[in-house]
Amino acid sequence: MPKVPGMVKGLGVTFRTMVETLKPSGGPATVQYPHEKEEPSPRARGVIALHEENCTACMLCSRECPDWCIYIEAHKTLAPPRRAGGKPRQVNQLDRFAIDYSLCMYCGICVEVCPFEALFWSPEYEFSEVSIADLLHEKERLGEWMETVPDFEAYEAGSEAKGKKVPR
Amino acid sequence: MSGLIFAIELAYWQQTLIKVLVAAVLIPTTALILGIVFLFKMMSWMQSRMGPQEAGPRGLLQLAADGLKFLQKEDIIPDRADRFVFKAAPVVVLASTFLTYVILPAGPDLVIENLPTGIFFAMAVSSLSVVGVLMAGWASSNKYALMGGLRAGGQLIAYELPLILAVMGVVIQAGSLSMQDIVWAQADGSMFGFGGLGLPFVITQVLAFFIFMAAIQAELTQPPFDMPVAESEVVGGFHVEYTGFRFLFFFLGEFATAFAFAAIAATLFLGGWWVPGVDPNSALANVVGPIALFVKIMVVAFLIFWFRFTYPRFREDQLQRFAWKYLIPLALANITITGILVVVL
């Protein structure tokens, strides 16, 4: 059988796509956004969520951030000792944790460098604001997004044992 | 009933007034239809999208909304532009489109003017748009516009030839330059003694049909021949400096010309307003004719836009080579063979 010329094949591709789009079983690849919402993949980089209890204000994320968009303020305080009769522990109490999403470029370095599992990627993407200054989100808002963080999926079969848990 | 209507004698100025009004309403409408059906909807489907959805039912009024938007825009003329030529260019382009509609027959009696040299007239006035495009490119005082205008000039001149040569085959076979006579020749023709389907010239002139389709693609400066208006190369070409309703003129001209060329192709190759089973002499043909012609135009326009949405852009030298080395020799060969066969058979 002679080879079908590429020009004819191309016509076939566009025609098939059109039929596929119009078929009730097919439909377009796009989503009519405000009317129906797109379902992002679980590990999509939508927004960065903060689990406040895990943060020690170590400033690693803030220092690694290429855009310098993370603001952290903390003070030292004393926590009750771990064992009875022990010395009270000195811990950092987080006063402020804010990410300026008008500067953030969603590189995810802060999530990667966080040694205490306080920052997570969430697929949530609807957090636009009318004013650009309103994109500076404080730790309360960042904490709300923790609910939208999906559980980690095992990278491959048998790796569940090492799989990390998302703190809830 | 229709016999009664056509029996009414109108003065020349009354006839002319009616014809002008019909043309003034018809031509923007055709551009709108092609724009919505093909540019917005079919292109979206072919790219697995839905196209405009918000303006009107299923987004069908999107183009009307866009047109209104163009009318609101500021009318900007560059400081160093040649103002008169700059303003005249879109009018020239649109005038060539309007003139092409003069000879399009939609029924035995439904034609603005049945010129004895109809198809020759159509080819002549459609070439006028080159002048308008060159004027636009030159008057804009913009290097991109100038490049685009010159590209358009070279392209349109190169593809006028295969266009006219492809038409020649049909004209030889029909024995007439009049659009109505060409339709009649197809209605009266027969295939191997079977006259029920007539003889649409696409069957005997399939090569000419192919050349014609390729040439009108280039005439309309559509992909794959859209170098004159290529955004990535000359940022829109000759209409880069045009805004508002002047740009709308170019847009309207492009799509109305696409409709006119589709109508010419439908008339020359697919039998025009004639449908098998309807007596072309009856009054019914005046009613069925426009519908049949419209369906055929939509089929041809579908082909045109299908090619448009499928193929990537040629390079400028590939374009010229394709015209001069392939299309024109093929068209000449087609004329020779048709001429010999018409004499022999």
* Tens digits of residue pLDDT in B274-315: 887 777 777 777 778 888 888 888 999 998 889 888 888 888
Q: Is A60:A115 a contact under the CB 8 Å cutoff?
A: yes
Q: Between chains, do B45 and A7 touch, taking CB under 8 Å as contact?
A: no
> If you measure CA to CA, which chain B residue comes closest to A17?
B46
B22-54 residue pLDDT tens: 878 888 888 888 888 888 888 888 888 888 888
The predicted model gives B106-135 an average pLDDT of 84
Q: Between chains, do B310 and A13 touch, taking CB under 8 Å as contact?
A: yes
Other C-beta atoms closer than 10 Å to the C-beta of B94 total 21
Burial of A35 (0-12, 13-18, 19+ CB in 10 A): exposed
A31 to chain B: which residues are within 8 Å by CB? none
Query: What is the rounded distance in angstroms from the CA atom of residue B190 to the CA atom of residue B197?
Result: 7
The predicted model gives B57-65 an average pLDDT of 83
B179-233 residue pLDDT tens: 888 888 887 776 666 666 677 777 778 888 888 988 888 888 888 888 888 878 8
Tracing tokens 């095992």 back to the chain, one arrives at: A154
Secondary structure of residue B34 in the 3-state scheme? helix
Tracing tokens 């030889």 back to the chain, one arrives at: B172
- The domain ranges of chain B are 35-72, 73-344
- pLDDT for residue A108 is more than 70: yes
Other C-beta atoms closer than 10 Å to the C-beta of B39 total 19
Q: How far is A126 from chain B (nearest CA, A)?
A: 21
Query: What is the rounded distance in angstroms from the CA atom of residue B41 to the CA atom of residue B35?
Result: 9
Q: Between chains, do A21 and B48 touch, taking CB under 8 Å as contact?
A: yes
Query: What is the rounded distance in angstroms from the CA atom of residue A167 to the CA atom of residue B15?
Result: 83
The predicted model gives A125-138 an average pLDDT of 89
Q: Between chains, do A11 and B307 touch, taking CB under 8 Å as contact?
A: yes
Q: How far is A37 from chain B (nearest CA, A)?
A: 15
- pLDDT for residue B269 is more than 50: yes
Question: What does the angle CA A128 – CA A130 – CA A136 come to, to the nearest 5 degrees?
Answer: 60
Query: What is the rounded distance in angstroms from the CA atom of residue B223 to the CA atom of residue B308?
Result: 5
Q: How far is B92 from chain A (nearest CA, A)?
A: 35
Distances (CA, A) of B27 to B111, B274, B305: 14, 22, 19
pLDDT at site A124 = 87
- pLDDT for residue B2 is more than 50: no
The predicted model gives B47-73 an average pLDDT of 84
Peptide bond into A42 cis (omega under 30): no
pLDDT at site A163 = 60
- pLDDT for residue B7 is more than 70: no
Q: Which residue has the higher pLDDT, B139 or A160?
A: B139
The predicted model gives A82-99 an average pLDDT of 88
Nearest residue, CB atoms, B48 vs list A15, A28, A32:
A28
Q: How far is B45 from chain A (nearest CA, A)?
A: 5
Which phi and psi angles does A126 have, rounded to 5°?
Answer: -95, 80
pLDDT at site B179 = 84
Q: Between chains, do B48 and A20 touch, taking CB under 8 Å as contact?
A: yes
Distances (CA, A) of A91 to A74, A114, A118, A140, B49: 10, 17, 16, 20, 55
Residue B263 pairs with which residues in a beta bridge?
A: none
> What 8-state DSSP symbol labels residue B309?
H
Query: What is the rounded distance in angstroms from the CA atom of residue B214 to the CA atom of residue B158?
Result: 12
Q: Between chains, do A14 and B309 touch, taking CB under 8 Å as contact?
A: yes
pLDDT at site B3 = 46
Structure tokens at B106: 């939609």
Residue A90 pairs with which residues in a beta bridge?
A: A78
Nearest residue, CB atoms, B48 vs list A7, A15, A17:
A17
What secondary structure does DSSP assign to B49-60, as a single string?
-----SSSGGGT
Beta strand A136-137 with A89-100: parallel, antiparallel or unpaired? antiparallel
- The domain ranges of chain A are 1-30, 31-154
> If you measure CA to CA, which chain B residue comes closest to A15?
B46
The percent of residues above 70 in pLDDT, for chain B, comes to 95
- Chain A residues in contact with chain B using a Cβ-Cβ cutoff of 8 Å: 7, 10-11, 13-15, 17-18, 20-22, 28-30, 32
pLDDT at site B105 = 85
The predicted model gives A137-159 an average pLDDT of 83
Q: Is A73:A95 a contact under the CB 8 Å cutoff?
A: yes
Residue A75 pairs with which residues in a beta bridge?
A: A93
- Quick one: pLDDT band at residue B8, thresholds 50, 70, 90? low
The predicted model gives A25-31 an average pLDDT of 82
Structure tokens at A153: 């999926």
- How many Å from the N-terminal Cα to the C-terminal Cα in chain B? 42
Question: What does the angle CA B152 – CA B332 – CA B192 come to, to the nearest 5 degrees?
Answer: 120
Peptide bond into B224 cis (omega under 30): yes
- E strand or H helix that includes residue B268: helix B244-269
- pLDDT for residue B1 is more than 50: no
Q: Between chains, do A32 and B45 touch, taking CB under 8 Å as contact?
A: no
Least confident of A151-155, A158-162, B329-333, B339-343: A158-162
Q: Which residue has the higher pLDDT, A94 or B196?
A: A94
Query: A31-154 has which CATH code?
Result: 3.30.70.3270
Q: Between chains, do B307 and A21 touch, taking CB under 8 Å as contact?
A: no
Q: Which residues of B101-140 are buried (b: 16+ CB within 10 A; e: fewer)?
A: bbbbbbbbebbbebbeebbbbbbebbbbbbbbbbbbbbbb
